[in-house]
Amino acid sequence: MNIQQAPSQALIEEWLTAMGVSHYMCEQCTALHISLGQGVEAPLENRLFIEDWGLLLSTEFQVRPSAMMVLAGELGHLNANYPTLKLFLDIVDDAVPQLVAGATTLTGAGLSADQFALFVSTSLDAIVALVDDLQQMECLYQGDGSAPEGRQLH
C-alpha cells in the first residue's frame, strides 16, 4: 500500500535506497547529497533539503566566468525548456559564478513513495538533460580536477 505521510529524513533515505539512488549526509550541511550516477562529468553539487513545507532538490553548477553572458542570454530559454526546474544565476564578488537549479514539492498533505519517486526521477532526469545542454553550450567550468578560486562546492 502506498500511504501518504509526512516524510522524515529516515523515510526519505529509505525511499532513495529503494529507488537505487546513491546518497549520503555530509557534515557541512543538513541536506542529503544525491549522486546523478555514472556518465555525468560536471562540477556540481546536488542536494535534497527536507523542509517543514516540503522538499527542495537543489543543484549548483560551477560556470565558466567567460560564459556568463551567453548563459544569462539563454536563461529564459532554459527555464522554458525545463519547466519542473527553476534556474537562476548566483554571482557573488570574488566567487565562482554558479547556475542553480531547484525543484520543489509540497508535503503538507503527506507524500507517498510513488509521488516521491516521481518527483526525484523527474527532477534528476531534467538535471541530467540540463548538464548535457550546458556542456554543449560550453558554459560549465571544466578545470584540471581542482576547483577554481573563490567559493567552493562542499
pLDDT score at 112? 94
Q: Is residue 1's pLDDT more than 90?
A: no
Q: Is residue 144 part of a domain?
A: no
Sign of CA dihedral 7, 8, 14, 17: positive
**pTM score of the predicted model:** 0.86
**Which CATH number do you get for residue 59?**
3.30.1460.10
Residue pair 140/126 in contact (Cβ under 8 Å)? The answer is no
pLDDT score at 111? 94
Q: Is residue 149's pLDDT more than 70?
A: no
Q: Is residue 154 part of a domain?
A: no
Q: What is the C-alpha to C-alpha distance for residues 126 and 120, in angstroms, rounded to an integer?
A: 10
Q: Is residue 98 part of a domain?
A: yes
Domain total of the chain:
1
Residue pair 78/133 in contact (Cβ under 8 Å)? The answer is yes
80, burial (CB in 10 Å: exposed 0-12, middle 13-18, buried 19+)? exposed
Percent of the chain with pLDDT over 90: 69
Quick: pLDDT tens for 58-102. 999 999 999 999 999 999 999 999 999 999 999 988 888 999 999
Q: Is residue 63 part of a domain?
A: yes
> How far is C-alpha 53 from the geometric centre of its chain's CA atoms?
18
Q: Is residue 146 part of a domain?
A: no
Q: Is residue 1 part of a domain?
A: no
Q: Structural domain of residue 20, as residue ranges?
A: 9-136
Q: Is residue 69 part of a domain?
A: yes
Q: Is residue 141 part of a domain?
A: no
Q: What is the C-alpha to C-alpha distance for residues 75 and 79, in angstroms, rounded to an integer?
A: 6
